[in-house]
Amino acid sequence: MSTVPSSSNSFLPTELQTAVLGGSESIPESTPIIKGYAFPPPPSSASSSSSSSVDYELLLDAMLTTGFQATHFAMACDEVTRMLTWRLSQEDLENTQEGLEMKEALRDTEFEDPATHNDVRTKIFLGCTSNLISSGVRESIRYLCQHKLIDVLVTTAGGIEEDLIKCMAPTYVGDFNLKGKELRPKGLNRIGNLLLPNDNYCKFEDWLMPILDAMLKEQREDGVLWTPSRMIRRLGKEINHEESIYYWCYKNDIPVYCPSITDGSIGDMLYFHTFKSGVDDDANLGGQTHIVLDIVRDIRSMNNESVTCKCWRRTGAIILGGGLPKHHICNANLMRNGADFAVFLNTAQEFDGSDSGAKPDEAVSWGKIKMEARPVKVHGEATLLFPLLVARTFAKIGRW
């Protein structure tokens, strides 16, 4: 309720006092006040070394009270911190309904003993689109996989192959304004302001084809049932390169799901391989003359990543970008009535009704995020923000 306008303005018409100079409701004293980071004075001279330096910890702290997406970024860091620090030992298993349900679900499991509860951590799902693997965000994601800071990774076909290709040849900085009609004759492919020589894909084909030969042989002779995740694990093993995300996923037994694995260069190579393996018409497509990838087995495995957590283990989702990785992770968490923690980081808008731009509250309506969760969406570009988020959370807190 507005307060009465000040009597010092009594000379103004009443309608002006009401429309322009009306009073305000009081704001609770605990409400944060907008205030950004106060930079120290700059050096007094080029050779000066006495001036105080920027405190990047305080700079990141100040984002919470900066407003707009800086505040959302700080909230996202807090949400990831909650993911990393949650332990089953924090739950009250005696005096709350949820706690009693957890205790009952723990019965006859390896975690029934309270002494083990500090070992039960949040299962963290990370989703990313392929452009982020093409960019330098790849190194941030590799860091998370190398140090077992996430539990499940979901990406697209490009998110697989771009990592593997970078182990063979580099991606270069280009320009958004480079013309496609000038790049095409030069054999240069553009991803935003990145450049990938076509030779990179030729090297990838030379590397991948013998692996596909071996996979087909194992399928025919040993009855190996390939799934996209099992294929990705094999590729991670074969690349044997410490700069690779999927090498570390293989080493650390982190499952990687990609139901769209044919939608990229890997799909091209699988198509090319059918000519080599003997598929020449649709009549042969039901046989064993080509590599078969079972996506049904993978959707069972992916959903079970969530379901097997049951009610006594929290799940968290960190999703960079939209599209398939976003929906695949959210839908898997639907199977357990929603994720406990969630951070979305993308530039998509919700006005077109796409899942990519949907805010977390829409996922709550589907049961993909729990009703009592505190999810955060940051409207921003991941190459700017995700390395900062990793520095602020995973690299600072760790997992153990």
**pLDDT bracket for residue 1 (50, 70, 90):** very low
State the virtual CA torsion across 267, 271, 272, 274 in degrees, nearest 10. 140
Residue 23 in domain = no
295 in any annotated domain: yes
Q: What does the pLDDT read at residue 114?
A: 94
Q: How confident is the model at residue 21 (pLDDT cuts 50, 70, 90)?
A: confident
Note the pLDDT of residue 282: 57
337 is a domain residue = yes
State the amino acid at position 390 in one-letter form. Answer: V
- The pLDDT tens digits for 215-227 are 999 999 999 999 9
| Confidence band, pLDDT 50/70/90 cuts, at residue 45 | low
Arithmetic mean of pLDDT, 25-50? 85
Query: Cβ(111)–Cβ(88) under 8 Å?
Result: yes
Residue 205 lies in a domain: no
Q: Which of 123, 326, 368, 377 is catalytic?
A: 368
* Total domain count, the chain: 1
- The pLDDT tens digits for 94-117 are 999 989 999 999 999 999 999 999
**In terms of residue numbers, what domain contains 135?**
55-86+121-169+225-278+288-397
User: Shortest CA distance to 348 belongs to which of 375, 321, 320?
Assistant: 321
Of the pLDDT bands very low, low, confident and very high (cuts 50, 70, 90), residue 2 is very low
Q: For residue 73, is it within any domain?
A: yes
Residue 187 belongs to some domain of the structure: no
Please report whether residue 203 resides in a domain.
no
What is the arithmetic mean of pLDDT over 183-196? 98
pLDDT of 121 reads: 96
pLDDT of residue 309: 86
- Tell me the mean pLDDT in the region 343-357: 96
Q: Among 35-49, 87-101, 350-364, which stretch is predicted with the lowest mean pLDDT?
A: 35-49
pLDDT of 3 over the 70 cut: no
Kindly report, residue by residue over 61-75, the tens digit of the pLDDT. Answer: 999 999 999 999 999
Q: What is the mean pLDDT of residues 32-37?
A: 97
Would residue 200 count as lying in a domain? no
Bridge partners (DSSP) listed for residue 317: 125, 342
239-291 pLDDT, tens per residue? 999 999 999 999 999 999 999 999 999 999 999 999 887 766 555 555 568 99
* Segment 119-129 mean pLDDT: 97
* pLDDT reading at 296 higher than 80: yes
Specify the pLDDT at position 22: 80
166 is catalytic: no
- Which pLDDT tens digit goes with each residue over 353-394? 999 999 999 999 999 999 999 999 999 999 999 999 999 999
Range list of H helices, the chain = 14-20, 56-61, 68-85, 97-106, 130-134, 137-146, 157-166, 180-183, 198-222, 228-239, 245-251, 265-277, 295-307, 323-334, 360-366, 382-392, 394-397
Give the per-residue pLDDT at 15: 86
Q: What is the mean pLDDT of residues 153-162?
A: 98
Interatomic CA distance for residues 88 and 315, integer angstroms:
12
CATH number of the structural domain spanning residue 382: 3.40.910.10
Q: Note the pLDDT tens digit of each residue in 130-146.
A: 999 999 999 999 999 99
Whether the pLDDT of residue 229 is over 80: the answer is yes
Is pLDDT at 203 greater than 80 in this prediction?
yes
